[in-house]
Structure 1
Amino acid sequence: MKNLKTLLILVLTASIISCSSDDDNRTITPPGEGGEIIENEIKGEISADSKLLSSIEYTLTGSLTVKSGATLTIEPGTLIKAKSGRTDVFLAVERGAKLIAKGTASQPIKFTSDASSPKAGDWGGLVLAGRAPSNKGTDVQSEVAGLLYGGTEADDNSGELSYVIAEYTGAKINGEQEFNGISFFGVGNKTVVNNIVVNNGNDDGIEFFGGTVNVTNVYCSNIADDMFDWTGGYTGTITNAFGVRNDGFDAATDDPRGIEGDSNSSDATATPISTPTLKNVTILNLNPDVQLKAGAEIRRGTVATINNILFAAYGTASFGNRIDTKDDKGDGELTITNAYAQGTVGDDKIGGTLTGVVSEITDGITVPANNTVQTKAGVGADLSAFAWANPSFVVTK
């Protein structure tokens, strides 16, 4: 009788659509019984509180959208493999919905590709939308996933992402639409985001489109475009951010950067102005074949503050510019304290304002042996915070 009861309630609520069998059987237990999603192939819309279980290896075979009013909880240690080679495979969270992906250091939650030889761009990524302010408006459509975002609720809550890994993201729909590893569209500061890793992304690692969400401990490695990116009036704080391009990761856009900060490319004076604060940041290039265009490009009205940042290039790897505040669509303003540079990281290109001095050092990053990296205490990001994710480096001496 339980199966009959489950099926009846699912027909009424249409909580999720699963394509795991020929008769399109919908198998999610009713919310009163835990809401567990027990079919291993998932896609469709979630309109009632539901849960992904660590005991099941899931395959994401299309878009999975958490609808307004619903919460999707993902248990610690859950593995979700995305169908590779598609641009319609992603996880989206609407305004008014929540994603509770709360892993642990010993049991992180992982989103990855199902390909036998995975690569950057195999699938879309994670897309969250909220009601926090954006200088694009209050009902703006996201670049991907078709979500509305923006509003007036700085303290909006889209849930929690903790100890989450997203790999092989960044599917490109066309030249103007492409997924990032994790995209935050108007996400508010009641949302908890910490201990996040994006590996092997075909566009940006993480990007903020307006919003006020704060992020602590974020690691981006092997990102084809920008490691850390914001636009649209983002006003949150990013603490302990480590970005690296490894030797051998040659996927790159025309202008890969460590940090790209915009406010509004159509009107640099549009409010709210992007005024983020960054604390404890390392931008590292280990790849001699791909130059980072800039360590940090702050432009188009952005007014940013960065305390404790290291720009480092090892061996023959390099940056084009270290800091760039000049742009034909509006210059930027950057205030830096405790800023350091190591290796061939270029000069500063000043069009707007740069306040502060970058000190040259030789020991912020050391390589005691091939494929190992050590960081100097107190300089840039604390790499040890990411030990739970077993970060790997490729260094050619």
Structure 2
Amino acid sequence: MKNLKNLLIVAVAASIFSCSSDDDNRTIDPGNGGGAITDNELKGEISEDATLLASVDYTLTSSLTVKSGATLTIEPGTVIKAKSGRTDVFLAVERGAKLIAKGTASLPIKFTSDAASPKAGDWGGLVLAGKAKTNKGTDVESEVAGLLYGGTEDTDNSGELSYVIAEYTGAKINGEQEFNGISFFGVGSGTVVNNIIVNNGNDDGIEFFGGTVNVTNVYCANIADDMFDWTDGYTGTINNAFGVRNDGFDAASEDPRGIEGDSNSSDPTAAPISTPTLKNVTILNLNPDVQLKGGAEIRRGTVATIDNILFAAYGTASFGNRIDTNDDKGNGTVTITNAVSQGNVGTDKVGGDIDGTVTEITDGITVTADNTISTKTGIGADLSVFSWANQSFVVVKL
């Protein structure tokens, strides 16, 4: 059995603030990014290489955009608090720019709200743009942050996100525009993304708009809309993904889902077609008051491959559908292997093709009286790899 204890997220800050050479003992100047970093305040445009230091308590007071040609490096253990209650507070990385946010298990990098009582939607989120292919073109404007994305460089490198927590994201601009926790617009496979937590998001957890970036070990907890989402011809791999809605997290869109996969809603045949591969995935609902519309909705031309997935609902929590490939703007196709379901997760709604079957089980995941969640070895996501984040499960109605 692999267990993940019911603990609160602990942000660990480190005092790593300078580097020195053995021969001259000089302190390296982290730079101000061309004026966007003033003491502990972050806003404006990073036009020169700069580093955020773990010893500084940063506040993101407006948009911070890393311009093409510049690199923003963030030290392990850095905590960045975003000004809450505004829609113009976010971190954006242009095509041709890089973000190196390389935390560690003991010193993760954390983006959070500055509110005394933080909530989903307090600020925007992280937005990265790249030069990889999309089926919307090569110079497409992102839904948020006003970045251009797309191109022909599928191996494009936008930097690295490792051991990063983004929480209380999803500020709503209007009825059509909302930030996700982390958005990847045309981001290429040269970008490294692993060990990511998105917690308490008011829209999607992680969304891919085309591109080829691969993601390993990603955890989306308490997401108002879709935990994992893609569109615009995304062709990467998502490996070891865990999505959960806790009891008590009641923020919800009209149709929250575990997975929502689109290719192109205007033309489901547009190339490249979204052909992602998902491996080792768990979608779990613990909230009896909010039904997930679907465990996985694969639609609008998407051709997905899913291997080893667990759909689970605890107690009276439920899904509307388990897998849905039907859509009036184009059906989807999914090849699914080693799939199991547990609890009230609905039935499959087939409009396109579902190649493979989902086996119903009774012991894939358990919740004990102390709110420890256990999953059987080899079924769905491996929860033990997220122990560094000390994530919390909330199951009130035992």
TM-score by length of 1: 0.91
Q: Give the match for residue 116 of structure 2.
A: 116
Q: Give the match for residue 14 of structure 2.
A: none
Q: Give the match for residue 384 of structure 2.
A: 384
Opposite residue 141 of structure 2, the aligned amino acid is: Q
Q: Is 1:35–2:35 an aligned residue pair?
A: no
CA deviation string 1:167-216 (max 9, x = no partner): 00000000100000000000000000000000000000000000000000
Aligned-residue Cα RMSD (Å) equals 1.0
- 8 Å Cα contact 2:150/2:185 also seen in 1: yes
Q: Give the match for residue 4 of structure 2.
A: none
How far did residue 32 of structure 1 move? 7.5
Q: Give the match for residue 214 of structure 1.
A: 214
Q: Give the match for residue 202 of structure 1.
A: 202
Unpaired runs of at least 5, structure 1 = 1-30
Instruction: Please show how residues 79-94 of structure 1 align to structure 2 within 5 Å.
Output: 79-94=79-94
Q: Give the match for residue 144 of structure 2.
A: 144
Equivalent-residue separation in structure 1 for 2:386 and 2:233 (angstroms): 29
Opposite residue 29 of structure 2, the aligned amino acid is: E
- 8 Å Cα contact 1:231/1:261 also seen in 2: yes
How far did residue 363 of structure 1 move? 1.1
Q: Is 1:237–2:237 an aligned residue pair?
A: yes
Equivalent-residue separation in structure 1 for 2:103 and 2:120 (angstroms): 23
How far did residue 286 of structure 1 move? 0.1
How far did residue 370 of structure 1 move? 3.6
Instruction: Please show how residues 17-56 of structure 1 align to structure 2 within 5 Å.
Output: 33-35=29-31, 37=37, 39-56=39-56
Q: Give the match for residue 292 of structure 1.
A: 292
SS at match of 1:289: coil
Q: Give the match for residue 178 of structure 2.
A: 178
How far did residue 33 of structure 1 move? 3.4
How far did residue 364 of structure 1 move? 1.1
Relative contact order, higher structure (CA 8 A, sep 6+): 2
Q: Give the match for residue 22 of structure 1.
A: none
Unpaired runs of at least 5, structure 2 = 1-26
SS at match of 2:288: coil
CA deviation string 1:333-368 (max 9, x = no partner): 000000000000000000000000101111111112
Q: Give the match for residue 78 of structure 1.
A: 78
SS at match of 1:386: helix
Q: Give the match for residue 267 of structure 1.
A: 267
- 8 Å Cα contact 1:38/1:53 also seen in 2: no
Instruction: Please show how residues 277-356 of structure 1 align to structure 2 within 5 Å.
Output: 277-356=277-356
Give structure 1 regions of 4+ aligned residues with deviation exceeding 4 angstroms: none
Equivalent-residue separation in structure 1 for 2:385 and 2:183 (angstroms): 22
Q: Give the match for residue 28 of structure 1.
A: none
CA deviation string 1:115-172 (max 9, x = no partner): 0000000000000000000000000000000000000000000000000000000000
Q: Give the match for residue 256 of structure 2.
A: 256
Opposite residue 187 of structure 1, the aligned amino acid is: V
CA deviation string 1:4-58 (max 9, x = no partner): xxxxxxxxxxxxxxxxxxxxxxxxxxx9734265611110000000000000010
- 8 Å Cα contact 2:30/2:52 also seen in 1: no
SS at match of 1:65: strand
SS at match of 1:251: coil
Equivalent-residue separation in structure 2 for 1:324 and 1:254 (angstroms): 16
TM-score by length of 2: 0.91
- 8 Å Cα contact 2:290/2:317 also seen in 1: yes
SS at match of 1:33: coil
Q: Give the match for residue 57 of structure 1.
A: 57
Q: Give the length in aligned residue pairs.
A: 367
- 8 Å Cα contact 1:277/1:306 also seen in 2: yes
